[in-house]
Structure 1
Amino acid sequence: MRAEPPAWAPGPAQAAALLEEAADLLVLHRDFAAAVERCEAGCDSLGAGPGPGHESFAEVKCSLCVVGIQALAEMNRWREVLSWVLQYYHVPEHLPPKVLELCILLYSKVREPQVMLEAGSSWLRAQANQRLPELGSLLELYLAEVLLPLGLFEGAEELVRGCAGLDSEQQLALLGTVRESRRRWAQREETRSPAEEQQEPATETLLGVLSQKLLTMLTLLRRALRSMSNHFYLLPYKKMLLATFLLYLVVVRLDPASPTSLPFIYKLVQLFRQAWAAVLSPVHRPPIRD
C-alpha cells in the first residue's frame, strides 16, 4: 500500500491542494485571513522556480496570487497587494498578465492609480513581454486606468510608441485614444475654472451662514446662563458649552475625516473660542464652587 505524501510536501501538487482550500475559504466560508495564509503557503511550497516537467507551476502560482489579491481586498488591505505579489515574483516584469490586470483594476477602483505607475510601465516596456498576446489589452487598460486619469499624456504617447509588440494599427488606435483624452481633459479644465471661481464665494457664504448660526446659538446660551447665574452657582458652564458645540457639529453632519471639512472645522473652533471667551469673561463669570 502506497504511503500518502506529507500534508505540506513542496511542489505544484501540494500548491494546487492549497489553492483549492484557499478558494473554498474565500468563496464559501468568507475566511479571508485563512485564505491568504493558504495562498502564502502554496507560493512558498513552490520554491524559487519551476523544475523540469512542472508545466503547471506558473499557472498554479498565478491562481494562488489571484485568490490572495481578492482576499486582501476583501479585508481592506489593498495597500499591501502590490508588495505582496512582488515578494513571489520579485520584479514587476515577471508578473503574470492576469495578476497585473487585477492590480491595475484594484488600485484604480480605490482611486490610487499612481501606485501602479512604475510597475505597469516596467512590465509593458520589458522585452520579454512584447511577445505576449495580452500586451495590447494590458496597455489599453494601463492607459485608461492609470496614465490618462492622471493626465500623463506625453508619457502615454511615449509608452505606446515604445511597445514593439504592437502593430501599426494598434499604435494608431491607442495614440488616437490618448489625443482624444487630452482634448477632453483640456475642455474640462477650461469649463471647470469658472465654475470653481463661482463655487468658492458660494462656499464662503455657506460657511458664513453656518458660522453666524453657531455664534447666535452661543450668544443665546450666554444670556440664558447669565439670567440663571444668581440661582444656579453650581451650573457646569464648560460642560454645557462643550455639549452645545458637539451637538452643533452633529447637526450639521460634519465628517472630520474629510479633507474638505477641515477649513470649516477650523472656523468653528475659532468662533467657539471667541464665544467661550465672551461667555466666561471675568465680568460675567459667576462664582463656581467645587
Structure 2
Amino acid sequence: MRAEPPAWAPGPAQAAALLEEAADLLVLHRDFAAAVERCEAGCDSLGPGPGPGPGHGHESFAEVKCSLCVVGIQALAEMNRWREVLSWVLHYYHVPEHLPPKVLELCILLYSKVREPQVMLEVGSSWLGSPANQRLPEFGSLLELYLAQVLLPLGRFGAAEELVRGCSALDSERRLQLLGTIGESRCRWARREEETRPGAEERQDPATETLLGVLSQKLLTMLTLLRRALRSMSNHFYLLPYKKMLLATFLLYLVVVRLDPASPTSLPFIYKLVQLFRQAWAAVLSPIHRPPIRD
C-alpha cells in the first residue's frame, strides 16, 4: 500500500509538495484517482489565499493553485470524468472571471474535443467580458480560441461579431481579420445547410411513394365499385322512363365529378350509393311495374 502523504504545514509549501506528488501519480504511476485527491488536498491547504494585488506571495500562491487544477483536469479527463471538470475548477475559483488563462484554455479544448462546446458558452463569455482579464497578455489568444472552438462551431455568428466589435483590447486591424473569419465561417455554414437540404428531401421520397400507393389503391377500389354500379344500371336502362334516366345520370355526375377520390369518406359513400340504387331499383321493379315475362 502507498503511504499517506506527510502532514505538511498549511500554505503554499504543503500545496507545492502535494503538486509534485500529484504530477508523479499522473505521469509515472498513472494513478489518476490518487492524483485528483492530491490536487484537491493541495487546493484545500491553500485556503482562501492572499488578497488581490501584486507581490511575490500572491504570484506564488496563484501559480501553485493553477498548476494543481491543471493536473487535476488532466487526471479527470484520463478517467473519462470530463463532465465534472468545469464544476470541479469552479469549486476552487468560485466565478468564471477568476479562472486562470491556462485553466480556461484547457477547459475550452477539453469540451471542444468531446464535442460539447456549449458547456463553455457562459463561462467563456463571462471571462472574456471581464475588464481585468482584457488586460492580460493571454486575452487575445483566448478570444480567438473561444471563437474557433465554441462560438463558430455552434453557429453563434451574431454573438461572435458582437464580442469582437465590443472588445477594446483588439486593434482595428485584428478586429477586421476576426470579423472576416466570422463571415467566412457563416458562408460555409450556409453552404452546408444547402447541401444537406436535398438529402433530407430524398429521405422523404419513400414515405411519399408509400402515400401515393395507398391513394392509388383507394382510387382503384372506387373505380371498381363505379364499374359495378354502371354495369347494374346499363342492364336496366331500357326499362327506365326518361326522368329516371336523367336521375341516374345526375347521380353518376355526383360520383364521378364531385366526389373527391382522396377523401377518406369517399369509399363509404360509394357503398351507400350502390345500396340505395339497388333499393331504388327494387322499388321501381316491384311486381306492379315489373315487365311481363316473355316465353
Report which stretch shifted further, 175-184 or 259-268. 259-268
Deviating above 6 A after TM superposition, structure 1's stretches of 4 or more consecutive aligned residues are 1-6, 47-52, 202-290
Please say if residues 229 and 274 of structure 2, whose CA atoms lie closer than 8 Å, have aligned partners that are also in contact: no
Whole-angstrom CA distance in 1 between matches of 2:293 and 2:90:
64
Deviation track 1:211-243 (CA, whole Å, cap 9, x = no partner) reads 999999999999999999999999999999999
| Range 228-237 or range 38-47, more displaced | 228-237
Deviation string, structure 1 residues 63-111 (Cα, Å, up to 9, x no partner):
1000000000111111110000001111001101110000001001111
Q: Output the CA distance in 1 between the equivalents of 2:156 and 2:127.
A: 18
Structure 1 stretch displaced more, 43-52 or 91-100: 43-52
Give the Cα separation in 2 of the matches to 1:286 and 1:12.
Answer: 120
Q: Which residue of structure 1 lines up, in the alignment, with residue 186 of structure 2?
A: 182
Q: Output the CA distance in 2 between the equivalents of 1:65 and 1:257.
A: 67
Report deviation, 1:172. Answer: 0.9
TM-score by length of 1: 0.65
Q: Matched residues in 1 for 2:264 and 2:128: separation?
A: 35
Number of residues paired by the alignment? 290
- Partner secondary structure for residue 238 of structure 2: coil
Q: Deviations over 1:257-284 (max 9, x none)?
A: 9999999999999999999999999999
Cα 1:37–1:275, aligned 2, differ >3 Å: closer, same or farther?
farther
Gaps of 5+ in 1: none
Residue 14 of structure 1 and its aligned partner are, at CA, apart by 1.1
Give the 3 Å change call, closer, same or farther, for CA 173–43 of structure 1 in structure 2: same
Deviations 1:130-187 (A, max 9, x none): 1111111111111111111111100010011111111111111111111000000001
Per-residue deviation, 1:8 = 2.9
Q: Is the 8 A contact 1:136 1:170 kept in 2?
A: no
Change in 2 beyond 3 A, CA 1:3/1:136: closer
Gaps of 5+ in 2: none
Pair 1:12–1:195, CA change in 2 (3 A): same
Change in CA separation of 1:214 and 1:262 when aligned onto 2, cut-off 3 Å: closer
Moved more, 116-125 or 169-178: 169-178
Q: Which moved more, 1:98-107 or 1:181-190?
A: 181-190
Distance 1:273 1:210, change over 3 A: farther
TM-score norm. by structure 2 comes to 0.63
The alignment-based identity, stated in percent, is: 91
Do the aligned residues in 2 keep the contact of 1:16 with 1:42 (CA within 8 Å)?
Answer: yes
In structure 1, the residue corresponding to 2:269 is in which secondary structure? helix
Aligned 8 A contact 2:124 2:146 in 1: yes
1:129 aligned to 130, 133, 137, which one?
A: 133
Alignment correspondent of 1:87: 91
Q: Is the 8 A contact 1:211 1:271 kept in 2?
A: no
Query: Which moved further from structure 2: 86-95 or 224-233?
Result: 224-233
Task: Indicate conservation of the 8 Å contact 1:255/1:261, yes or no.
Answer: yes
Cα distance in 2 for partners of 1:31, 1:272 equals 89
Rg comparison, structure with higher value: 2
Distance 1:161 1:206, change over 3 A: same
Cα RMSD for the two superposed structures:
16.7
Which 10-residue stretch deviates more, 47-56 or 243-252? 243-252
- 1:39–1:64 Cα contact (<8 Å) kept: yes
- Matched residue of 2:29: which SS? coil
Contact 2:222–2:270 (CA under 8 A) maintained in structure 1: no
Pick the aligned partner of 2:223 from 206, 218, 225.
218
Question: Structure 1 residues 228 and 252 mapped into 2: Cα distance closer, same or farther (>3 Å)?
Answer: closer
CA, structure 1 residues 111+215, in 2 after alignment: closer, same or farther (shift >3 Å)? Answer: farther
The question of whether the paired residues in 1 share the 8 Å contact of 2:22 and 2:35 is answered with yes
Is the contact between residue 50 and residue 58 of structure 1 (CA under 8 Å) also seen in structure 2? Answer: no
Quick one: structure 1 residues 8 and 155, their matched pair in 2 at CA, closer, same or farther if it must change by over 3 Å? same
* Aligned partners of 2:215 and 2:262 also within 8 Å: no
Q: Which one is further off, 211-220 or 272-281?
A: 272-281
Alpha carbons 1:104, 1:113 under 8 Å: kept: yes
Offset, 1:197? 3.0
Give the secondary structure class of the aligned counterpart of 1:282: coil
